[in-house]
Amino acid sequence: MKNTDFSLIPYFIVMMDELSISNTAKRFGVSQPAVSKALRRLKETYNDPLFIKTKEGYRPSSFCNDIYPQIKLAYDSFESTFPEKKKFDPSKLERSFNVACISGAVYSVMKQVSDSLYHETPHLGINIDPLYTGDIVMDLRQHRYDLCISHSPTINPAIECAELTEEPMVVAFDQSHPRLKDKISLDEFLAENHVLHSMWNSDDSPLGIASTYAHKRKVARKAPGALEMLNMVHGTDMICITPMSVLETVNAANNFRFAPLPFESNLGRSYLLWHKSRNTDSAHQWFRNKIIKVSEKKPQWGFNS
C-alpha cells in the first residue's frame, strides 16, 4: 500500500460502521462521490470488492470481514496517541450504543446504567434490542451491536468476555395456583406446564440451553420476553422461570408468588461480550466499564415477603 493510501483507512472503518455511502459521507462532511472514490482506490489496492451492494444495502465481503479487526485495532491504537484522544470527557459524548440483551438484564443492570448516565451524559443514546440474533459474533464484528449481554460466554478468540454479577432466578406462578407453595420440589417443577422465553430461529430457550432441568420442562407456551411470560402465567396454573428483578419491576406481589429454583444452576449468570477491535475505543471502554461496575452493586432480594 502506498503511503498516500493510508489516508483512505478512516473511510474503510466508518463504512464498516455505517454500511452506507451516504452516512459515511455525512460523518466526514464530504460528498458521496468522494467516499466512493476512496473506497474504489481501496478495492484496487486489495484487489477485492470489499463492500458488495445488495437489495438490503451494502454488506462486507469475506475478505473485508477478515481484515477489519486488525485494521481497526491498528487505527485505534494510532489515533489514541493524539492528545485530544487522551482527554475523554463523558459529559460531552454524542454517541449511541447498541446493545443486544437478554430480557432479565434489561430490567436490572441496563435499567441502572440508563438511570445513572441520564444526567451524566445527556447526549448519550442507548439502544437495547432483545438477544434474538442468530450470530452474535458476526453482529459484534460488523458493529451491528457494540455490546451483548448473554447467558453464555464465548470461546471465540475475536470476542472479549466479562462475567457480570449473578442474579437470582426464581419460579414464578399465579397467587391462586392450586398446587404450588413457597417452596417446590423438582418433581413438582417438572410436572407443571411452563411458559418459555422464545429464541430467534430455535425451538429452545436461553435457559434451556444453559440447564438440563430447564431443558426438560413441559412447554405449554412461548413468549418473546420476561413481562410477556408473566402475562401468560397470570390467571393460569402455568409457571415460568424469571429473574427476580423482573418481579420487582412489575411489583408482582399482588398477582404472583415465587419460589427458589428446585435445582442447582448457573441460570442467573450473565456475560458482557464485545469485539476485540473495540478495546482501544475510549468511549466504548468507558461504557462497558459502567455496565460492569453497575452489575457489581448487588441488590437485596427476598422471597414472598
Residue written as grid cell 454488506: 59
Residue written as grid cell 417446590: 184
How many Å apart are CA 78 and CA 55, to the nearest integer?
A: 36
How many Å apart are CA 288 and CA 271, to the nearest integer?
A: 11
Helix (H, G, I), strand (E, B) or coil at 239: strand
pTM of the model: 0.67
pLDDT tens string for the chain (305 positions)? 555 578 889 999 889 878 889 888 888 888 999 999 999 999 999 999 999 998 878 999 999 988 988 888 788 777 766 665 556 788 888 889 999 988 778 888 899 999 999 988 888 999 998 887 668 888 887 778 999 998 888 888 888 999 998 888 899 999 999 999 889 999 999 999 999 887 655 555 555 555 566 667 889 999 888 889 999 999 999 999 988 888 877 777 778 999 999 988 777 888 999 988 788 788 899 999 999 999 887 544 343 33
Q: Which three cell numbers stand for residue 231?
A: 402475562
Spatial contact of 88 and 289, defined as CB atoms under 8 Å apart: no
Q: Which pLDDT does position 302 carry in this prediction?
A: 40
How many Å apart are CA 239 and CA 242, to the nearest integer?
A: 10
Outline where DSSP puts E strands in 254-299: 256-260, 271-275
Phi-psi region of 235 (alpha: psi -120 to 50; beta: other; left: phi over 0): left
Q: Which three cell numbers stand for residue 234?
A: 397470570
Residue 187: how many CB atoms within 10 A of its CB?
A: 8
The strand pair at 95-101 and 256-260 is best described as: unpaired
Q: Which pLDDT does position 305 carry in this prediction?
A: 35
Outline where DSSP puts E strands in 229-270: 239-243, 256-260
Spatial contact of 89 and 121, defined as CB atoms under 8 Å apart: no
CA dihedral in degrees (105, 107, 113, 114; nearest 10)?
A: 130
Q: Which pLDDT does position 301 carry in this prediction?
A: 38
Q: Which pLDDT does position 233 carry in this prediction?
A: 95
How many Å apart are CA 152 and CA 150, to the nearest integer?
A: 5
Helix 109-117 with 282-295: angle, nearest 10 deg: 120
Helix (H, G, I), strand (E, B) or coil at 192: coil
Tell me the backbone φ, ψ of residue 153, rounded to 5 degrees: -75, 180
Q: Which three cell numbers stand for residue 97?
A: 450504543
